[in-house]
Structure 1
């Protein structure tokens, strides 16, 4: 079965909203083993919407339209679809009763005349109740075997409706499934990652491996075509195990919904650690990524943005001599930023030539960790010795400071994003090395 997704709404074309519905539905179609060749976005215009539907009917078996089912005049999806199919629009008493019940529950809301527009359906369609709103979904099966599904635009209405009603409906029509798993990798570039699995890709049939490059990360999707989910899992399992052997601790998760910051926060919580951040060129971007994670308050202690040398001295106890001798962007400064963030005693010494060393941290601070970033994000400020993109990241875990030097490419924002991702990965691997 070939599916086509049609997202309706001028606000999508203007960039006023992000089209998360297409992303969600594409993933669900893949899960069902439904092929998706086309995704179309069209504004609230009758002529252009009709053209999009007609084009889709010539090349796809399943059309899923989202949006345009509201009560206002510019909500045209239902009416245009009926016109293309040469079907009538009729009132559905069941939906009308549900709209009445919805407004009764929402005390203080008054039913306006245009709300009854949502009780109108396409003749011969199957109504899909909407427990989270007033616009029902519709399933239309045409005489020539096409299926058109209309879903409301708000994701908090669309996703439950699809999962509870549309997914089981489509699943019954499918002879097989596509089962996939995701492996997410940090610390290895896309070219190297692909080289490491080139033999697997060259000889692959079923399942297949597809690499995706993300900022500072590589994601590998392993997909198998199978008769059911059990067979799919069995086909994917040996491939996943082989990838785990090859990439080892560079794999930070095999959960599609999990991000790097989720893994880091969970690791900190697992080992009862707290984190203090010390940022220069990233200016709070690192701390913001951690705060994105629910439960971050359990592990995030403090965050310092020490952009100037004076701030580094004042808040992190970076010595004036270090800044004068080596500069703000240096291994030595990164060490002192990480150590200062963890409130180490002043007389701790560190071997400047080592990547990891014992700082002699006091036992009272043994559960504290820190992550410090200092670098040149550009576009100016670089030199021949320290070009734009030079970043030092220091991390202290279990009384040991690790420092890594990076040379990132890209504009100012890219350098900052790369610094955050590599900083999180350094913290992740440091915790694993120390505690696991």
Structure 2
């Protein structure tokens, strides 16, 4: 079954709110085995909404609407669809009673326009709204399914997860649900990952492989439609095994978590602790790690030693290392090593991670923007230091450097 999502609301077109409903709907429809081929956003205009319905019917079996079910005159979805399908609008009495009760319990007079929220298309299935007032609708006509949901996510999501999902399941018949697994990679770019898996991606049939990328991490979703969970898992696992043979050294999780969360899990499992010393990253490493709930048991603490004076005072790095003729400088391999080793020792941690470099906008110590050194000091092991040259703006360089350090720490934890 092919679906189109039609989001109704001029505020979406103006950028006043973000259409988060589309993501929730796409995920749920995929789970039901329904393919979303198109997403449309249309303003509060009857003629343009009617045109969107006409186009949607020509290319989809299911149209899912969000928005336009409220009490005001610009809430047009039910009116336009009723007119388009040649159906009357009738009152859904349970919803009308809930509206009356709400106003009565608050000691307020009900504005007549609120009756619009209890309207539904005749001969349609009402979708109860447990968190708001506007009743949803579901119906079938001439081989096309229509589902009307409210716009506010706090109302849309419960309706989708409850009665709308149940109604769709009842209409699907033998449609097989979609099963998928998300593979998360670090330490490799999207283009390099694709190059290593190109034959699998180009030759895909079932399961399908879909790469996604964001800064510092790449994902591949492995998906299949199957009659049972066991059948789906067997197919997915075969694909995962092939992928792991080629790029397993970058595959840090088989679920949607950031690499810092997996690092906290590994630290916890091995009863080891982490500390950090940062310069150019300005505390971003510590921020990402401490964003993981419960990380206080694994992350001892960190320092942001932005100036040479603080590197000397807090980490005990000699000024002769940082400044003067012949000094390596703050942005150097040897300083990164001292920062990692000293913060590990001071905090009595099992791992110390350091980052020092040039985030920009100008060069520093005669060294180019984007040059970063980071080191990993592990108890009773030789410290390892890495030199990277990052591209992008200031914020991007900081994030990419931190993600690179997290990847190398993940490797050390697995060794």
What is the TM-score of this pair, normalised by structure 1? 0.84
Pair 1:408-2:390 in alignment: yes
- TM-superposed CA distance for 1:52, in Å, is 1.8
Pair 1:420-2:402 in alignment: yes
Residues 179 and 322 of structure 1: CA distance in aligned 2, closer, same or farther (over 3 Å): same
**1:196-211 residue pairs with structure 2 within 5 A?**
196-211=196-211
- TM-superposed CA distance for 1:92, in Å, is 0.9
CA deviation map 1:265-288 (0-9, x unaligned): 323333344433332222233333
**1:302-341 residue pairs with structure 2 within 5 A?**
302-324=301-323, 325-341=327-343
Give, in whole Å, the separation in 2 of the partners of 1:48 and 1:92: 27
The correspondence for 1:387, drawn from 345, 368, 375, is 368
Q: Could you say what the CA RMSD is over the residues aligned between the two structures, in angstroms?
A: 2.7
Correspondence for 2:217: 217
Correspondence for 1:278: 277
- TM-superposed CA distance for 1:85, in Å, is 2.4
Give, in whole Å, the separation in 2 of the partners of 1:109 and 1:75: 26
Correspondence for 1:350: none
- TM-superposed CA distance for 1:127, in Å, is 1.0
Give, in whole Å, the separation in 1 of the partners of 2:124 and 2:304: 58
- TM-superposed CA distance for 1:149, in Å, is 0.8
Residues 119 and 48 of structure 1: CA distance in aligned 2, closer, same or farther (over 3 Å): same
Contact 2:138–2:167, Cα closer than 8 Å, also in 1: no
Gaps of 5+ in 2: none
Residues 262 and 310 of structure 1: CA distance in aligned 2, closer, same or farther (over 3 Å): same
Q: Secondary structure at the match of 2:355?
A: strand
Give, in whole Å, the separation in 1 of the partners of 2:254 and 2:89: 47
Contact 1:102–1:134, Cα closer than 8 Å, also in 2: no
What is the TM-score of this pair, normalised by structure 2? 0.88
Residues 124 and 319 of structure 1: CA distance in aligned 2, closer, same or farther (over 3 Å): farther
CA deviation map 1:242-265 (0-9, x unaligned): 222322242111113x22232223
Contact 1:278–1:303, Cα closer than 8 Å, also in 2: yes
Give, in whole Å, the separation in 2 of the partners of 1:127 and 1:189: 48
Correspondence for 2:414: 432
Correspondence for 1:175: 175
Correspondence for 1:348: none
Give, in whole Å, the separation in 1 of the partners of 2:281 and 2:15: 27
Residues 272 and 99 of structure 1: CA distance in aligned 2, closer, same or farther (over 3 Å): farther
Give, in whole Å, the separation in 1 of the partners of 2:312 and 2:242: 48
CA deviation map 1:101-134 (0-9, x unaligned): 6678xx7685742444322222222111122222
When structure 1 is superposed on structure 2, of 232-241 and 193-202 the one drifting more is: 193-202
Correspondence for 1:165: 163
Correspondence for 2:246: 246
CA deviation map 1:372-412 (0-9, x unaligned): 222212232168x7432111122334354332211122222
- TM-superposed CA distance for 1:135, in Å, is 2.5
**1:119-158 residue pairs with structure 2 within 5 A?**
119-142=118-141, 144-158=142-156
Residues 15 and 277 of structure 1: CA distance in aligned 2, closer, same or farther (over 3 Å): farther
Pair 1:77-2:77 in alignment: yes
Q: Secondary structure at the match of 2:341?
A: helix
Give, in whole Å, the separation in 2 of the partners of 1:36 and 1:393: 44
- TM-superposed CA distance for 1:183, in Å, is 0.9
Give, in whole Å, the separation in 2 of the partners of 1:261 and 1:68: 41
Correspondence for 1:396: 377
Q: Secondary structure at the match of 2:18?
A: coil
CA deviation map 1:69-107 (0-9, x unaligned): 233443332233223323222221111233456678xx7
Contact 1:397–1:431, Cα closer than 8 Å, also in 2: no
Give, in whole Å, the separation in 2 of the partners of 1:393 and 1:111: 66
Q: Secondary structure at the match of 2:374?
A: strand
Q: Secondary structure at the match of 2:235?
A: helix
Residues 55 and 222 of structure 1: CA distance in aligned 2, closer, same or farther (over 3 Å): same
Pair 1:65-2:47 in alignment: no
Q: Secondary structure at the match of 1:326?
A: coil
- TM-superposed CA distance for 1:62, in Å, is 0.6
Residues 185 and 97 of structure 1: CA distance in aligned 2, closer, same or farther (over 3 Å): same
Give, in whole Å, the separation in 1 of the partners of 2:260 and 2:46: 44
Contact 1:177–1:229, Cα closer than 8 Å, also in 2: no
Give, in whole Å, the separation in 1 of the partners of 2:413 and 2:102: 51
Give, in whole Å, the separation in 1 of the partners of 2:118 and 2:223: 41
Give, in whole Å, the separation in 1 of the partners of 2:65 and 2:162: 17
Q: How many residues align?
A: 408
Residues 88 and 413 of structure 1: CA distance in aligned 2, closer, same or farther (over 3 Å): same
